[in-house]
Chains A and B, each alone.
Chain A
Amino acid sequence: MSAALYKQMMRVNLKGFLNYAVGSAFYILLMFWLYPGIAQNARALDDIVATMPEGVGKAFNLSGFGSAEAFISGEYYGLILVLILAIVSVQLSTQLMARLIDRGSMAYLLSTPTTRVRVATTQACVLVSGLLIILGATTLAGFAGKAWLLGDRYAFDAGRFILLNAAAFLMFFAVAGIAFLVSAASNDEKKALGLSGTIVFGFYSLDLLGKLGDSIAWMRDLSIFSLYRPSDIVGDGDFPALGFALLAAIGLAAFVAAVALFKRRDLPL
């Protein structure tokens, strides 16, 4: 880690992080605000979902309106937050490595007494910090929403809500790792963005398609998003230790591979 580089990169990217963090926090507050209205009609809504084709309900996590975290896990952690964090992961990882290589600014970083490993590790830390800021703000907003908008009138399991956020973090730790690996291996900013975008949204689409029908359920197994099951976490399921461990391992392996690759390769600076 290089403190000077970390500070500089955070300064450059902080505004973007805060925009996403504030957006995400407001969105989750909106969900909490809507929830009392939903809760009163939980049974009716469950009935409506039951009339839909089975796959549609599953694909978009339209299940469980019985508790606040179940509602949020379906409506927010299952779709909107995934899209926000996927965009952040792909964009930011491209900016942190491929853009600097493509534009040549990397030459300046590497002309100072800082090893490539330190530069890449620092950039990876900036990426992970961004995810933590956005998810941290989202988690805090969740607790604030519970306190202000729900009070004690509605069921809310704080432990499971935190677990839900931990799952989202690990999921995007893995996604960001993969995008970072692509970025560290690229000389061209646009190609890096295109490739990591294709990989991440390809995985996401496989997961979505796999959920739609049993005959193509195998598609889910090809996607790392199958390791992220927000509705299971807030349901009665056990602690998803294997999924958590796998996501952490994938993320860590991708980041380590990115740093190792960046250390050895030729840079067109």
Chain B
Amino acid sequence: MLTVEHLTKTFPSGKGIADVTFSVRRGEVFGFLGPNGAGKSTTIRHIMGFMKPDRGRAIVNGMDTWLRQGEVQSAIGYLPGEIAFIDGMTGRGFLDFLSGMQRTQDRARRERLIERLQFDANTPIRKMSKGMKQKVGIVAAFMHDPEVVILDEPTSGLDPLMQKVFVELVLEEKARGKTFLMSSHSFPEIERTCDRAAIIKDGAIVTIADIHELQRMQRKLFEVTFETADEAAAFAASGLQVDSLEGNRVRIAVQGDYGRFAEETTKRRVRNIDVFTQNLEEIFMDYYDRKGTGA
């Protein structure tokens, strides 16, 4: 449904993307992960046909997005990373205008989306908060019922409740066979929705992996507080990867092998368990480290 082949673009500054290749199947949610400035947005700009690739191409729905700009867009819904509307309009005015440009007249779907995201569409855009603008952007990306939805940092500015609503929306649309490409630098957001994800760094794809594989890659730190220091010491000696031991508190690093951790924990009297999830940067570091030592 969406294919990127050997996409290469070098900017005068020397930065850019090199030989980016991946493909997203129909009905799949594909995550696009990477730190800021890694080339996520540049790749998306090529997929949207805003830039001409030096080499390679992006194909959506069987059409080259640069050569058939203006045609391929009827199948695409797009949420830009930085939303900029047109001056002097209300949210509803802007959505009306976009509907006109998209040549769709189905307002029912749009009204349902507005209701779901709970915002007052009649607010002038210049008076809107960042989160509210983001909601208008999400409605604009979904309202014409596109086959492919491209979302650049979709949940930035949304509160946790709305992030949840958004994730539900993505999963529903996925169930209807829609295809997604979603860029993010937040792993939990990708984890809840995506089937596969590509990790990009310095303009090149580092890996494309199944989301379960990425989850296994992710290291979690558990801080377990036991009733006594003895139990803590015994636990620490049980062969798990110990990060730190302090009185009756033990920090354990777990990667994939949750069963064993649970087994060792339940043998003793536990007072409290805290979880520290690694952020994306740390996962990258781990990944690169392992690549470095494994080679």
Q: Given A4-B100, A8-B97, A12-B88, are A110 and B51 also a contact pair (CB < 8 Å)? A: no
Pairwise interchain contact A103-B84, C-beta atoms closer than 8 A? yes
Pairwise interchain contact A111-B97, C-beta atoms closer than 8 A? no
State in angstroms the CA–CA spacing of A116 and B101 once bound together.
Answer: 13
**Chain A contacts for B132, CB-based, 8 A:** none
Q: In this complex, which of A4, A103, A117, A264 has the most chain B Cβ atoms within 10 angstroms of its Cβ?
A: A4
Pairwise interchain contact A107-B78, C-beta atoms closer than 8 A? yes
Q: Which A-chain residue is minimally distant from B77 (CB atoms)?
A: A111
Q: Given A4-B100, A109-B101, A113-B103, are A266 and B69 also a contact pair (CB < 8 Å)? A: no
Pairwise interchain contact A112-B102, C-beta atoms closer than 8 A? yes
**Chain A contacts for B51, CB-based, 8 A:** 266-267
User: Which residues in window 62-116 of B have CB below 8 A to A?
Assistant: 69-71, 73-74, 76, 78, 80, 82-89, 97-98, 100-103
Per-position contact with B for A92-112: 1 when CB-CB < 8 Å, else 0? 000000001001110111111
Per-position contact with B for A2-21: 1 when CB-CB < 8 Å, else 0? 11110110001000000000
Pairwise interchain contact B69-A115, C-beta atoms closer than 8 A? yes
Q: In this complex, which of A12, A107, A115, A266 has the most chain B Cβ atoms within 10 angstroms of its Cβ?
A: A107
Q: Given A104-B80, A267-B50, are A113 and B86 also a contact pair (CB < 8 Å)? A: no
B174 at the interface (CB under 8 A from A): no
Q: How many whole Å from A127's CB to the nearest CB in chain B?
A: 16
Q: Total interface residues on B, using CB and 8 Å? A: 29
Q: Given A12-B87, A105-B86, are A113 and B74 also a contact pair (CB < 8 Å)? A: yes
A160 at the interface (CB under 8 A from B): no
Pairwise interchain contact A2-B101, C-beta atoms closer than 8 A? yes
User: Which residues in window 218-269 of A have CB below 8 A to B?
Assistant: 264-269
**Chain B contacts for A266, CB-based, 8 A:** 50-52
Pairwise interchain contact B70-A269, C-beta atoms closer than 8 A? no
User: Which residues in window 33-76 of B have CB below 8 A to A?
Assistant: 45, 48-52, 69-71, 73-74, 76
State in angstroms the CA–CA spacing of A265 and B102 once bound together.
Answer: 23
Pairwise interchain contact B86-A269, C-beta atoms closer than 8 A? no
Total A-B pairs in contact (CB under 8 Å)? 80
Pairwise interchain contact A108-B80, C-beta atoms closer than 8 A? yes
B198 at the interface (CB under 8 A from A): no
B17 at the interface (CB under 8 A from A): no
State in angstroms the CA–CA spacing of A26 and B200 once bound together.
Answer: 62
Q: Given A5-B101, A266-B51, are A108 and B69 also a contact pair (CB < 8 Å)? A: no
Give chain A's interface secondary structure class: helix
**Chain A contacts for B7, CB-based, 8 A:** none
A104 contacts which of B48, B82, B87, B102 (Cβ < 8 Å)?
B82
Pairwise interchain contact A107-B50, C-beta atoms closer than 8 A? yes
State in angstroms the CA–CA spacing of A118 and B82 once bound together.
Answer: 24
Pairwise interchain contact B86-A8, C-beta atoms closer than 8 A? yes
**Chain B contacts for A103, CB-based, 8 A:** 84
A269 contacts which of B50, B69, B140 (Cβ < 8 Å)?
B50
B69 contacts which of A12, A104, A116, A265 (Cβ < 8 Å)?
A116
State in angstroms the CA–CA spacing of A124 and B50 once bound together.
Answer: 20
A114 at the interface (CB under 8 A from B): yes
Q: Which B-chain residue is minimally distant from A103 (CB atoms)?
A: B84
Pairwise interchain contact A110-B50, C-beta atoms closer than 8 A? yes
Q: How many whole Å from A268's CB to the nearest CB in chain B?
A: 8
Per-position contact with A for B196-207: 1 when CB-CB < 8 Å, else 0? 000000000000
B76 contacts which of A5, A111, A116 (Cβ < 8 Å)?
A111
State in angstroms the CA–CA spacing of A118 and B69 once bound together.
Answer: 11
Pairwise interchain contact A113-B50, C-beta atoms closer than 8 A? no
Pairwise interchain contact B82-A113, C-beta atoms closer than 8 A? no
**Chain A contacts for B49, CB-based, 8 A:** 110
Pairwise interchain contact B80-A115, C-beta atoms closer than 8 A? no
Interface residues of A (CB under 8 A from B): 2-5, 7-8, 12, 100, 103-105, 107-118, 264-269
Q: List 16 additional A-B contacts (Cβ < 8 Å) besides A107-B78, A114-B73.
A: A3-B100, A4-B100, A8-B100, A12-B87, A103-B84, A105-B86, A108-B80, A108-B84, A108-B86, A111-B48, A111-B73, A111-B80, A112-B98, A116-B69, A264-B52, A268-B50
9 A-B residue contacts at CB 8 Å? A100-B86, A104-B82, A108-B98, A110-B48, A110-B49, A110-B70, A112-B101, A113-B74, A113-B101
